[in-house]
Amino acid sequence: MKSTLLNILLPLLITTAFTKEGKAQPAKQNLNISFLLDLSDRIDPKKNPDLYQRDLGYIKSIETAFVNHVKEKKMMLLNDQMQVFFDPIPKIPNINQLSQQLKVSFNPKTSKKEILSVDNTYTQISSKIYQHTIKYGHYIGSDIWKFFKNNVQDYCIKDQHRNILIILTDGYMYHQDSKFLDNGKSSYITPAFIQAKKLTSSNYRAVMKKNNLGFIPATSNLQNLEVIVLGINPSKQSPYEEDIIKQYWTDWFKAMKVKKSYFKTADLPANLAPVLQGIILGANKP
């Protein structure tokens, strides 16, 4: 009888936190946050002054929200992680070691010191990666389409977690190793491509539908993944460029059954910080 009662009560204890007054509260969800960084020449200071510093500011905002989420949980309920991915791998000394330092995982045995060290680690390591890329001009870009095809399921989705992938990019998608066309759809989009497809007026949706334009789905069944496309920076060639970029991504995520998506245009980190933290912390209850 005692064993049966314990089996019933244990799951409730694990999934429930308590206030100081002893009132039960639903436990916060476990977070699994992933970054995919676009280290293309978009971060070249000669091309886009201070853009890389904005990237670092965005990473800081997400990291802060993650740590705040962890701090608010009961230690016995900790089961949260955060990591950074690249595709392809940057030409940076000790990149494997640096990547490992950016992979943080918290469980009931995690010390408070480990939690507090995340801020300093993410600030230093992410800055080192960007500064090395800029200093040596190794702008490898980001093969976002291939990452979704080959890695997103294995790397970014974990059972019993709220899975969030943050893609830091200008919104354009292009890599020389993943340039495909299939009956109108493509694995890439660039300013020149948008111009060539005559997506330059307010009727761009009709043009897209008529010509079957959009991204080729890279995978499927991403119902347990939320995606934030952060840092969209459209060309000024057309007033509809940003809308077209967002339409491509929206249709792509819908085709791959992404649970939820957010699109944020490049702005000062100070302006986006409360928005990003609201996304991370505002919906982290079951």
CATH numeric code, 30-172+219-281: 3.40.50
Tell me the whole-structure pTM to 2 decimals.
0.90
Sequence ranges of the domains in the chain: 30-172+219-281
> Residue 84's pLDDT is what?
98
The pLDDT tens digits of the residues spanning 90-113 come to 989 999 999 999 999 999 999 999
3-class secondary structure per residue, the chain: CHHHHHHHHHHHHHCEEECCCCCEEECCCCEEEEEEECECHHHCCCCCCCHHHHHHHHHHHHHHHHHHHHHCCCHHHCCEEEEEECCCCCCCCCHHHHHHHCCEEECCCCCHHHHHHHHHHHHHHHHHHHHHHHHHCCCCECCHHHHHHHCHHHHHCCCCCEEEEEEECCCCECCCCCCCEECCEECCECHHHHHHCCCCCCCHHHHHHHCCCEECCCCCCCCCEEEEEEEECCCCCCCCHHHHHHHHHHHHHHHCCCCEEEEEECCCHHHHHHHHHHHHHHCCCC
> Residue 18's pLDDT is what?
43
The pLDDT tens digits of the residues spanning 124-154 come to 999 999 999 999 998 999 999 999 999 999 9
Report residues of the chain scoring pLDDT below 70: 1-28, 283-286
> Residue 283's pLDDT is what?
59
